[in-house]
Amino acid sequence: MPIPRLWQSVVGIFFLFAWCDRVEADVQVSPAGMAFFEQKIRPVLVGECYSCHASGKDKKAKGGLALDSAEGLRLGGESGPAVKAEDPAGSLLVRALRHGDPELAMPPKKKLDDQVVRDFEEWIRMGAPDPRGAIKVSGPGAGKDHWAFRPPRKVVAPVTRDTGWARSEVDRFLLAALEGKGLAPVGDADRRTLLRRVTFDLTGLPPTPAELEAFASDRSGDAFARVVDRLLASSAFGEKWARHWLDVARYAESTGKTVNFNYPHAWRYRDYVIAAFNSDKPYDQFIREQLAGDLLKSDDPKVNAERLIATGFLAIGPKILNERNGLKFELDQADEQLDVTTQAFLGITAACARCHDHKYDPIPTRDYHALLGIFRSTETCYGTPRFINAQRPGRLIPLPEEAKPALAVGRLSEAERGRIERQIETVQEAARNARDQVQRFLISGQVSLLQARLDAYDRDGNPKLLAMGVRDKPSGTGREGPGNRMAFAGFTQTGSRVISDSPVFIRGDADQPEASRVPRGTLKVLAREPLKIPAGNSGRLELAGWIASRDNPLTARVLVNRVWMHLFGKGLVPTADDFGLAGRPPTHPELLDHLATRFMEDGWSVKRLVRHLVMTRAYQLDCRAQAKAQEADPDNTLLWRMTPRRLDAEDLRDAMLSVSGQLETKPPTGSAVARAGEGPVSPPGFRGGQMQALLNDPRDTSRSVYLPVIRDNLPEAMALFDAADPTLITAERPRTTTPPQALYLMNSAFALRQADKASERLLKAHGDEGERMRAAHQLFLGRVPTDAEAGQAMAFLARYRERYSGEPEKEGREREAWSAYCQALFASAEFQYRR
């Protein structure tokens, strides 16, 4: 059936609006591309390839292929280009790593892990981002005077020529920069636009028609301030702003990687973050609790439980459960924790110094290993049972019963316990009778899953009070080597069992530790003095205190920049996840320091910071383009207007639920993953289609922050609209415009269901068609329709009714017509964008 003309115009506007609003791509490598290259690609090139395929004064790269520079990789060697962006699997580099052709096999004496090959394929699919050669650094000591490594200083706001425009010191900083370029800001946004903007920014939801009418008619001087205070006090504030932090914290409910296992207790960390933002927990305390909450003691069991749960920050990362080398598993896990800690709180890529001194920032690999010792002295409690090729099980942390934490599942009945116990006996008998050892091993994996189900309850059938998190290992002397080695089914368990300093591992290789060890500590370029870590402590408490200190030059700046980015669309530091030499400098350095120092003086209050920024005149500007400013500053770096941007994936889905009247505002307890329990994401007998139905249930009306977050398998509404990849640390989400996004709004069961519900809501509330039309625009777009829009809408409805005039039920035809119109409004650019 041809698409109605209104649909055509709506879909066309959707793409045109997004295209016109795009930001020109940087010529630099993206932060995500740089991180992938540094973590996955460069270590392999350095450790396995450079010995033969590197250029230099005294040697020639074999085969003419030099892999030690971006240009050499791009040009290839005697056999042709090494990478083909259009055919990652067929690229010469990937074919060599696969060892399928003996003539090409590289490295010639051994085949690298399959995961390495997959990483190179993914890297080429990304466009083979390669930052080598982009930045010149004279040596490991260079860059210590970099702006971000110096403490922020208090700055007095400048005097501006226009003395009547600014409403705050922030406005004066921005106006001074504009006046310096001979530019001026546009006018203020109208009241309806402003209310829709601030409501989405602070709660992730659209304002109601009643709220719009009230604010539009309220001309008192403090009307907007009262709106802001109401929104900050709403529980929806925590649900919106927790999602920003969960992106950075790489929150997920499964391990991801090659063996994807559930994290049934991850939801507790999610709820901790939501509660922290709603209670306006001071950010410095937020840091301490996530890094060392288990070491912060309180007489209140509820507080102790909350702090234990907070350390889930370090436990919820991705894990390769089928890693055969136990020491490598430990090192990779500690590296991942080090990476998220330094990026999330400090905006710096310290993990790039794992294999060598950092190529851009003054971070030697010894500093990396000083930090690594802290995380290697920490036991990570993430759960997951042993199961076939998932041979890296973990414990969980018991919570104090007096805290009475929420439970995601009910009691286990005696009948259910008996059924599981009989299943275990049956499987064990089958394993004993199996002739083949491998078969016995596979069958015994079923016992692990069944036993894990029982172990989640006490003998009375009550769910155990458990959480993901971390705790210090026992104090003592740890050794790497045969003395600490345990083997099972081809897996080795080697590593530090106690608190200890770590050696430097040459090129990041678990098999090449240096003889001496590096004292546990932190990054010298940022620290005024070494951390004083007691011999029997991991050092996490001291590390947390150092990061949360006012003396740290990065912590406040990084958080302030993130808040600014979420409110204005782009950070004052454009590379929000990299404040180092590979990042970009701040557009308004004095303003950044002003806000950072004020943030700390305000008690590290995120709500006060948000309130301060949305009350500025700059935040309340219109988004209209201005010819002179557009030509001089097309990217709106100087903030002469408010840049429109599409709603986040969660906001878009929640807005659809809100206008249809279906949004469930009461938070659920737990999650679907918690109810599924321990085990693989898709256990035997659990078909992929069932999992997709769970993730994409159109009847699920909870806020999107509560949707299941399965690594490598996000709900469709999230994945299509650029939700954060939970395997990565995401400070700023990508923004894409693709045909599947429009098709989802046209054809998905969720979109169709919400359009039906919205039409039923309109038909029930408004008998007059004109009133219904005005109500629809108020509900969906926050404004009344123009006469032209109303005429087009009426014509659309008339054509729709005419097309289905043969249907017997008039009421059904009317509901279908209005449902189609509601769906068109969902797909419109105006509904999807926050202006």
Pair (338, 448) in one structural domain = no
pLDDT above 60 for 312: yes
Which H or E run includes 492? strand 491-493
Look at residue 510 and tell me if it is in a domain.
yes
Same domain, 321 and 342: yes
418 and 519 inside one domain: no
- Decide which of 686 and 412 is more confident: 412
Q: What's the rounded Cα separation, in Å, for the pair 754 and 760?
A: 10
Question: H-type helices in 434-505, by residue range?
Answer: 437-455
User: Higher pLDDT residue, 453 or 132?
Assistant: 453
* pLDDT per residue as tens digits for the range 98-113: 888 887 888 887 888 8
pTM for this model (two decimals): 0.86
In contact, 607 and 156? CB cutoff 8 Å: no
The 10s digit of each residue's pLDDT in 775-794 is 999 999 999 999 999 999 99
- Counting every residue written for the chain, the total comes to 835
C-alpha 218: how far from chain center: 38
**Which domain range does residue 418 map to?**
414-462
pLDDT of residue 809: 62
Residue-level pLDDT at 150 = 95
Q: How far is CA 296 from the centre of its chain?
A: 27
Whether the pLDDT of residue 23 is over 50: the answer is: no
Q: Which long-range contacts (CB under 8 A, 24 or more apart) does 798-804 make?
A: 799/4, 799/5, 800/4
Residue 812 predicted with pLDDT over 80: no
Instruction: Enumerate residues 6+ apart whose C-beta is below 8 A from 809.
Output: none
pLDDT in tens, 660-684: 999 999 999 999 999 999 999 876 5
Tell me, yes or no, whether 47 and 111 share the same domain. yes
Bond into 107 cis (ω within 30): yes
344, 448: one domain: no
Per the domain annotation, does 96 fall within a domain?
A: yes
Please check whether residue 491 is in contact with residue 324, taking contact to mean a CB–CB distance below 8 angstroms: yes
Last residue of a domain, one of 519, 547, 575: 547
pLDDT of residue 7: 44
Identify whether residues 321 and 350 lie together within a single domain.
yes
Distance of alpha carbon 246 from alpha carbon 587, whole angstroms: 26
Domain tally, the chain: 4
Task: From 514, 547, 580, give the residue that closes a domain.
Answer: 547
Q: Which of 709, 604, 707 shows the shortest CA–CA distance to 239?
A: 707
Residues 501 and 517 in one domain: yes
Domain annotation covers residue 702: no
The neighbour count for residue 168, using CB atoms within 10 Å, is: 16
pLDDT category of residue 692 using cuts at 50, 70 and 90: low
pLDDT at 27: 38
Average pLDDT over residues 688-708: 82
Q: Is the pLDDT of residue 86 over 80?
A: no
Q: Does residue 467 contact residue 308 with C-beta atoms inside 8 Å?
A: yes
The pLDDT score that the predictor gives to residue 477 is 54
| Per-residue confidence (pLDDT) for residue 29, from 0 to 100 | 65
pLDDT at 829: 95
| Distance of alpha carbon 55 from alpha carbon 384, whole angstroms | 46
677 CB-contact burial (10 Å; exposed 0-12 / middle 13-18 / buried 19+): middle
Based on the domain organization, do 304 and 425 belong to the same domain? Answer: no
Query: Average model confidence (pLDDT) for the chain?
Result: 88
**Span 225-282, pLDDT tens digits:** 999 999 999 999 999 999 999 999 999 999 998 889 999 999 999 999 999 999 999 9
The mean-pLDDT minimum among 132-141, 220-229, 529-538, 750-759 falls in 132-141
The answer to whether residue 373 is domain-embedded is yes
Q: Are residues 473 and 445 in the same domain?
A: no
Looking at per-residue pLDDT, the higher value among 117 and 812 belongs to 117
Q: Residue 613: name the closest of 644, 639, 587 by CA.
A: 639
Specify if 596 maps to a domain.
no
- pLDDT tens-digit series, residues 367-392: 999 999 999 999 999 999 988 888 89
Distances, alpha carbon 165 to alpha carbons 159, 197, 225, in Å? 12, 21, 18
pLDDT band, very low/low/confident/very high, at 698 (cuts 50, 70, 90): confident
The residues near 264 (Cβ < 8 Å, ≥ 6 apart) are 253, 383, 408, 456, 673, 674, 676, 677, 678
pLDDT digits (tens, 9 = 90+) for 721-731: 999 999 999 99
Instruction: Supply the pLDDT for residue 683.
Output: 61
Q: What is the pLDDT of residue 16?
A: 37
- Higher per-residue pLDDT: 31 or 718: 718
Say whether both 795 and 826 belong to one domain: yes
48 part of a folded domain: yes
Q: Which residue did the predictor score with more confidence, 720 or 695?
A: 720
Domain assignment present for residue 261? The answer is no
Mean pLDDT to the nearest integer, 618-646: 96
Same domain, 449 and 519: no
Mark whether 384 and 511 lie in a shared domain. yes
Read off the pLDDT band of 20 (50, 70, 90). Answer: very low
| Band of residue 125 on the pLDDT scale cut at 50, 70, 90 | confident
172 found inside a domain: no
- Which of the listed residues 125, 151, 166 is the one where a domain comes to its end? 125
Per-residue pLDDT, 15: 40
Residue 833 has pLDDT above 90, yes or no: yes
